[in-house]
Amino acid sequence: MNAEIIAVGSELLTPTKLDTNSLWLTDQLNTLGIEVVQKTIVGDERARLAAVISGALERSDLVLITGGLGPTEDDVTRDAVCLALGRCQQFRQELCDQIAARFARIKRPMAEINKRQAFLIDGAEALPNERGTAPGQWLAVGAKAIALLPGPPGELKGLWAAEVLRRVTAMVPPLHIATAHFRVAGMGESDLDALIAPAYTRYTNPVTTILAAPGDVHIHLRARCAEQAEAEALVTELGAQVRELLGDRIYSEDGADLETVAGRLLRARGESLSVAESMTGGMLGQRITSVPNSSDYFRGGFLTYTNEMKHSLLGVPEAMLAQYTAVSEQVAIAMAQGARERTRSTWALSVTGYAGPAGENVGNVYLGIASPTMAEARHIQFGFDRNRIRNMSATTALDWLRKHLK
Amino acid sequence: MNAEIIAVGSELLTPTKLDTNSLWLTDQLNTLGIEVVQKTIVGDERARLAAVISGALERSDLVLITGGLGPTEDDVTRDAVCLALGRCQQFRQELCDQIAARFARIKRPMAEINKRQAFLIDGAEALPNERGTAPGQWLAVGAKAIALLPGPPGELKGLWAAEVLRRVTAMVPPLHIATAHFRVAGMGESDLDALIAPAYTRYTNPVTTILAAPGDVHIHLRARCAEQAEAEALVTELGAQVRELLGDRIYSEDGADLETVAGRLLRARGESLSVAESMTGGMLGQRITSVPNSSDYFRGGFLTYTNEMKHSLLGVPEAMLAQYTAVSEQVAIAMAQGARERTRSTWALSVTGYAGPAGENVGNVYLGIASPTMAEARHIQFGFDRNRIRNMSATTALDWLRKHLK
């Protein structure tokens, strides 16, 4: 079974706005075994939109239209569907009452203009929208169907879950899904792909999707079978091979991010953490504290952006800074030790390096780690982009801590 | 003049990939006065793509197709254009030689399969691609035109600049452009719009675009006229009204971000900055140091995530913490003063608050600022989303510093 998605709105044809709803809808559809074969983005123009809808309905079994259900003259989705199908729409008092009730709940007056949202296309079912004023509509056209859905993502998702999902599910044979979500730090996408491709390319089910952010690769496995046990067995089988090939480079098997995983390990051990940051300037601390309840294990840290601060705040000896420079193994270790002593944390991480903009040492980074029983430094050479160097440094430091905690 | 963009590639119909090339192309086209009226995303399917191309060429003056120019069987854009137009394509030895030369330059062997990229559609001009193996193609069809462009963004942009821009420019009357880019912190998009709409809605030229990130709103003005002086006069005229309405809420008139603007002011005054962060955990420092050469004015900071750290690292009196709690005006001021004294910076900013996840005080934030002559605190109540509270706190602190520095 095939589907198409039509995103309606002139703002989606400007240089700054993308139709992101379609990604979420595609994921929902793929989960049901439905493939998206075409996506169209069109402005608030009745005739053009009607032509797009006609074409989509000719080609595909299911047409999802997002946006254009608002109360203004610009909102032409209802009219365009009527035009495409040669149907009329009628004012429905019960829809108008629902819209009025919603305005009453949020204690705002309902404008006359909102009555436009109470028109229902002949033959359509109204889909109540708990999160907004625009009801959706579901329209069976022979064995095919069109859904009119609101554009705001929160409304779209709510309405999908409450009303659309079961209608779409009824159109396809039942499928059971099993998934796995691995995450790997410290490996490029192409290296990782080269390593695991021999395993996953032998399977068309599960489908493997590899998605990369700098220093952080996501591996999604998704099996679809007639039986749940069969889907789970397939994911387990391929998952075991992926685990075998990647070993402890996998930091997460449930999609949790690196700071969350490191935090879980610290909490489980009843241990604490502090940081000493030069080049990253707070990025490492910011990531650690992005995790709710990170105050359970994060004590604090030092941003020491100058040699003087490394000395006065962390106690790095002036002679060491003079002899080895601030970007050195020695200073990385002294920074971590200084942070650990001053915060009385179990662990401390440090970052010192050159993020640019200029100079031959750009990308030259030392990480330090200290615990009650050890202190080590690690040298890494990154590329030349300031933001990337900082991000990769923070990621590598967190992954290094994770490996020490395991 | 109207244009359509067609993005080709089955990966663009998955739940994880968006066609972002079209945003960049839309910006380029709008600059020339060309409006994008429809965008289509279609997989690597010859017949489907051919139908999309036929439809686009019927509706629009210019059709830009991105992707599908690679060497494999999956790459069907050339074939689909031939199918749509009823034209043939021919192998061109000179194109093949160019592709071979490129492989020679990067010292890799050219595969036999790459010869597929040396086929030119009858009547098309080949567009050399300096950054990849796939040449583009430009095809005039009566007064209309189709451009076949590579999908990788770097190749697309290079080829656009070198080959396509002048061909498209020749299709439209000459226009001169003037722009302004204001940024405003600490105001929601709808409040800002309500304030300046009476001014900008009186102009259709310049076009005004308002774009919002949390706590940070961009206002773009773009005038297009037959004469440069006329375009600049229009932007100056509307810009003056926007400036009058927003006053010192405008922090940037050249698009620079808040941390860059605050940094410029510090550098100009020869002054320095430190931070003391609780709830933001490094986010403020990370933003300040995201600016190249921020070491000219940023000295360092303290991440004090616990009461104990606020006391031991910043010298906040234990009695004060006990009496007022860590989230108070008194502690915000003491944190800023503590950071300033310990780093000997001119200015210090502090943030303390509750970012959640739970509790009735979530979103309750105090900011502190200290200089040689003053220390103040400011209370703000934000919403309930952890990440948003942290981001808005950092933004508000930076904007507060900016206002003090002006």
Could you read off the pLDDT of B296-314 as tens digits, one per residue? 999 999 999 999 999 999 9
Contact B16 A294 (CB under 8 A): no
| Sheet of strand B62-66: strand arrangement | A125-127, A136-141, A144-149, A62-66, A2-8, A35-42, B35-42, B2-8, B62-66, B144-149, B136-141, B125-127
Assigned CATH for B258-405: 3.90.950.20
**Token pair in block for residue B202:** 């009186």
Assigned CATH for B176-252: 3.30.70.2860
Could you say which of A18, A36, A275 has the minimum Cβ distance to residue B23? A18
Interface test with A, best of B40, B54, B299, B303 (most A CBs within 10 A): B303
Identity of the residue numbered A52: V
| Sheet of strand B375-381: strand arrangement | A375-381, A364-370, A347-353, A273-277, A298-304, B298-304, B273-277, B347-353, B364-370, B375-381
Q: Which positions ≥6 away from B27 have C-beta within 8 Å?
A: A15
Contact B301 A294 (CB under 8 A): no
Contact A303 B300 (CB under 8 A): yes
Residues 330-359 of A with CB under 8 A from B: 342-343, 356-357
Please check whether residue A123 is in contact with residue A146, taking contact to mean a CB–CB distance below 8 angstroms: no
The CATH class for the domain spanning A269-405 reads alpha beta
The confidence score (pLDDT) of residue B390 equals: 93
Counted across chains A and B, CB pairs separated by less than 8 A come out at 202
Block residue for tokens 């300046």: B196
Residues 375-394 of A with CB under 8 A from B: 386-387, 390
Contact status of A277 with chain B (Cβ, < 8 Å): yes
For residue B358, pLDDT over 80 is answered with no
Contact B302 A300 (CB under 8 A): yes
Could you say which of B15, B286, B309 has the minimum Cβ distance to residue A27? B15
CATH 3.40.980.10 fits B2-169, yes or no: yes
For residue A71, pLDDT over 80 is answered with yes
Contact status of A54 with chain B (Cβ, < 8 Å): no
For residue B213, pLDDT over 80 is answered with no
- pLDDT tens-digit series, residues B269-289: 999 999 999 999 999 999 999
Identity of the residue numbered A92: R
For residue B360, pLDDT over 80 is answered with no
Identity of the residue numbered B6: I
For residue A35, pLDDT over 90 is answered with yes
CA angle A384–A390–A394, rounded 5-degree value: 135
Closest CA to A335 of A324, B279, B351: A324
The confidence score (pLDDT) of residue A306 equals: 95
pLDDT band at A34, cuts 50/70/90? very high
Bridge partners, residue B121, by sequence:
B89
Residues of A in contact with B45 (CB under 8 A): 37
Question: Buried b / exposed e across A5-29, counting CB within 10 Å, b at 16+?
Answer: bbbbbbebbbbebbbebbbebbebb
Which one is predicted more confidently, B358 or B141?
A: B141
Residues 71-90 of B with CB under 8 A from A: none
Interface test with B, best of A289, A327, A352, A388 (most B CBs within 10 A): A289
Block residue for tokens 């076009």: B207
Contact B38 A13 (CB under 8 A): yes
CA angle B211–A77–A154, rounded 5-degree value: 50
Contact A48 B38 (CB under 8 A): yes
Instruction: Give the domain ranges of chain B.
Output: 2-169, 176-252, 258-405
CA A379/CA B126 separation, integer angstroms: 47
Please tell me whether residue A377 adopts helix, strand or coil conformation.
Answer: strand
Closest CA to B14 of A144, A168, A207: A207
Q: Percentages helix, strand, coil for chain A, rounded to the nearest 5? A: 45, 25, 30
